[in-house]
Amino acid sequence: MGRSFANLHIKSKNLEKTVEALRELSVKHPKVLGKNEGQETKIIMYVSKSNEVWISVLHDYFVWGTVKRIGKTLSQLIEGPVMTAGYMNEEIFELSIFGDGDIQAERIFCEPWTKDEYELKEECFNDDYLREALDIRSEDFDALIKMTGPAQAVDKLSELVKIFLWSDAEWIPYEEALRDRFRKYEF
């Protein structure tokens, strides 16, 4: 079993608005974050203004499979695209973009046999929207979508979008660079 992570990113220049949307998500949709109604525990998220365009979010309930539901729900509460990234066991990298509560584009990076074994299929195949939302030049995007190696796709996308995708809430206690990059919020 290899390394896994999941995170989400909001295309926004306004950190305060993003934090308010995360607060609203925590209050109005706690179930999507793994919290049962009536539970008194606070929801903890780690937030980083990754660059001028993207704000990154980590939470301990983000895993491959749940992070998409959370991204979809959050996209109903905030303007601009919400990108989710799920990486599982060094075999699969799933990149999804949501807007207005719906999936707008998705790409799954893995070997063909892995897609067959896990019966994986992109929910929404819209490369034009994906390239535009990520603001990647056509030549670079073409090179990215041809990749089948999940780790190489994560590295390339991180480089092109200038977001540190190799991050997960579970790693924060062990990785000083993540602790320095992300701020803890309690909702």
Segment 15-19 shows an average pLDDT of 97
Alpha carbon separation from 166 to 38, 52, 178 (Å, rounded): 33, 19, 10
What is the model's pLDDT at position 1?
61
For 130-183, how does the pLDDT look when each residue is reduced to its tens digit (9 = 90+)? 999 999 999 999 999 999 999 999 999 999 999 999 999 999 999 999 999 999
How far apart (Å, rounded) are the C-alpha atoms in residues 120 and 185?
34
For 27-46, how does the pLDDT look when each residue is reduced to its tens digit (9 = 90+)? 999 999 999 877 778 999 99
pTM value is 0.94
Backbone conformation region of residue 148, classed left if phi is above 0, alpha if psi is from -120 to 50, else beta: alpha
What residue type is assigned to position 106 of the chain?
E
Residue 125 has pLDDT above 70, yes or no: yes
Cβ proximity of 134 and 152 under 8 Å: no
For 101-112, how does the pLDDT look when each residue is reduced to its tens digit (9 = 90+)? 999 999 999 999
Segment 46-56 shows an average pLDDT of 96
Residue 100 three-state SS: coil
Segment 64-77 shows an average pLDDT of 96
Backbone conformation region of residue 71, classed left if phi is above 0, alpha if psi is from -120 to 50, else beta: alpha
Q: Tell me, what DSSP letter sits at residue 32? A: G
CB atoms closer than 10 angstroms to residue 172: 18
What is the model's pLDDT at position 39?
73
The mean predicted confidence, pLDDT, of the chain is 95
What is the model's pLDDT at position 60?
94
